[in-house]
Amino acid sequence: MNSQILDGQRVAEEIKDNVRNRVYEYEQAYNEPITLATIIVGNDKASKTYVKMKSKACREVGIHTMEYILPEFTTDGLIQIIESLNANPSINGILIQHPLPKNIDEKECFDKIALEKDVDGLSSHSFGKMSFGEDAFGSATPTGILHILDFYNIDVQGKKVCVVGRSPILGKPMAAMLLNRDATVTICHTKTKNLQEEIGQADIVVAAVGRPELIKKEWLKEGAIVIDAGYNYVNGKSVGDVQNPSGVASLYTPVPGGVGPVTIATLLDNTLIAAEKQQALIQTKNYGGKQYIKEGIK
Ligand code: NAP
C-alpha cells in the first residue's frame, strides 16, 4: 500500500493565512483588537508549553492575548476570573488549559464560560449545542480534525469510524462531530472488550488515547485512514498513539506535524469567529455599546 501523509502543518498554514487576513480586516472595520484570554492553573510543564505555543500563534496572526498564570488557585477564585472575563467586552475568547489541578472543580469552571466566548468548546452548553448540530464552538482538536478531513476532501458519510478515547475534550466531541457528518461511529475506551477487532473493521481510525503506540500497525484494515491525535513523549521524542502506519494505511497524520498544529490554528479561527459574531450582534441588535456581553447572547 502506497501510504500518503495528511500534512497538518500545511492545513494549519492555510487556516492561519486566512485568519491573518480576516483579523486585519476586522481591525480596519472596528478599530479594535481581537483578544483571547488564556488561563493556566497549577504547575504542569506541558500546559505551560502548550499555552506558550498558542500565544505565539496568536501573535503571528495579530490576535492579542491576556494571560493568567495561577500556580495555586481555588474553584471559587477561578469562577470569579471567568465571570469577569465574560463581562469584559475587550475579551473575545476564553481558553482554560486542561488538565486543571485536582482541587479545582473542572466541570463547574468550564460551565461558567459564556457560550459566545467558549472558543475551545469546554462547557456542557457548548458540547450539547454542538452535538445537536447547533451553532456553538466545538473543542479545538476534534474541530481541527474535521479541518484536516475537509482539506483533503475526505467524506466520512457512511464510513465506519472507530474513535479510540472518550474524553470530554477529544473522543466524545469527535464522535459527535463525525456522527453529525453521517459516519457510523464506534467509540472505544478502557472497558472495550476487543479493541483490535474494533479497529480492524474501521475505514477510519481516530486515536485519542494518550498511550504511546498502543494501536499496532497490524491491527489496521488495509487502506484505512488514520488520524492520530495522540501526543506522547518517549525518550525525548514525540510519539503518537498509533505505530507508524505507513505501508498499511492509505492516508495518515504524522506525529509530530499532524493534528497538533491544526488544533492551534483552529483555536485562532474560533477566536476570530467569536469576535466577528460578537461584532455582528452589536451591529444588528444595537445592544447599547457592548453591555450585551454581561447578559450573554440569548
Ligand atoms: P484522556 O483524557 O486521558 O483520555 C484518554 C482516553 O483514552 C480515555 O477515554 C480512556 O478510556 C482511553 N484509553 C486509555 N487507555 C486505553 C486503552 N488501553 N484502550 C482503550 N482506550 C484507552 O486523554 P485526552 O485528553 O483525550 O488526550 C488523548 C491524547 O491526545 C493524548 O496523547 C493527548 O496528549 C493528545 N492530545 C492532543 C492534542 C493535540 O492538539 N494534538 C490535544 C489534546 C490532547 P477511559 O475513558 O475508559 O478511561
Predicted local confidence at residue 286, as pLDDT? 55
Which amino acid residue places its CA nearest to atom 41 of ligand 1? 260
Mean pLDDT, rounded, for 106-123: 97
Predicted local confidence at residue 283, as pLDDT? 78
Predicted local confidence at residue 284, as pLDDT? 76
User: How far apart, in whole angstroms, are the C-alpha atoms of residue 25 and residue 259?
Assistant: 28
User: How far apart, in whole angstroms, are the C-alpha atoms of residue 204 and residue 148?
Assistant: 13
Q: How many Å lie between the centroid of ligand 1 and the Cα of residue 210?
A: 4
Please identify, by atom number, the ligand 1 atom nearest to the C-alpha of residue 191.
47
Instruction: Kindly tell me if the per-residue pLDDT of 298 is higher than 90.
Output: no
Predicted local confidence at residue 285, as pLDDT? 63
Burial string for 189-211 (b: 16+ CB within 10 Å, else e) reads eeebeebeebbeebbbbbbbbee
Mean pLDDT, rounded, for 107-134: 97
Instruction: Kindly tell me if the per-residue pLDDT of 291 is higher than 80.
Output: no
Mean pLDDT, rounded, for 36-60: 95
Q: What is the pLDDT of residues 240-283, one digit of tens each?
A: 999 999 999 999 999 999 999 999 999 999 999 999 999 988 87
Give all domains of the chain, ordered by start, each with its CATH number. Answer: 30-115 (3.40.50.10860), 140-259 (3.40.50.720)
Least confident interval from 42-51, 201-210, 221-230: 42-51
The Cβ-side half-sphere exposure at 185, using a 13 Å CA radius, reads: 21
Which amino acid residue places its CA nearest to atom 11 of ligand 1? 189
C-alpha separations of 102 from 45, 74, 255 in Å: 16, 10, 29
DSSP state of 126: H
54 is catalytic: yes
Q: Cell numbers of 12, please?
A: 494549519
Instruction: Kindly tell me if the per-residue pLDDT of 123 is higher than 90.
Output: yes
Q: What is the pLDDT of residues 150-163, one digit of tens each?
A: 999 999 999 999 99
Q: Cell numbers of 186, please?
A: 464506534
Which amino acid residue places its CA nearest to atom 16 of ligand 1? 190
Residue 121 Rama label (left phi>0; alpha psi -120 to 50; beta)? left
Please identify, by atom number, the ligand 1 atom nearest to the C-alpha of residue 98.
25
120 is catalytic: yes
First-to-final CA distance of the chain: 52
Q: How many Å lie between the centroid of ligand 1 and the Cα of residue 164?
A: 8
Q: How many C-beta atoms lie closer than 10 Å to residue 102's C-beta?
A: 8
The identity of residue 176, as a single letter, is A
Which percentage of the chain shows pLDDT scores above 90? 92
Q: How many Å lie between the centroid of ligand 1 and the Cα of residue 150?
A: 23
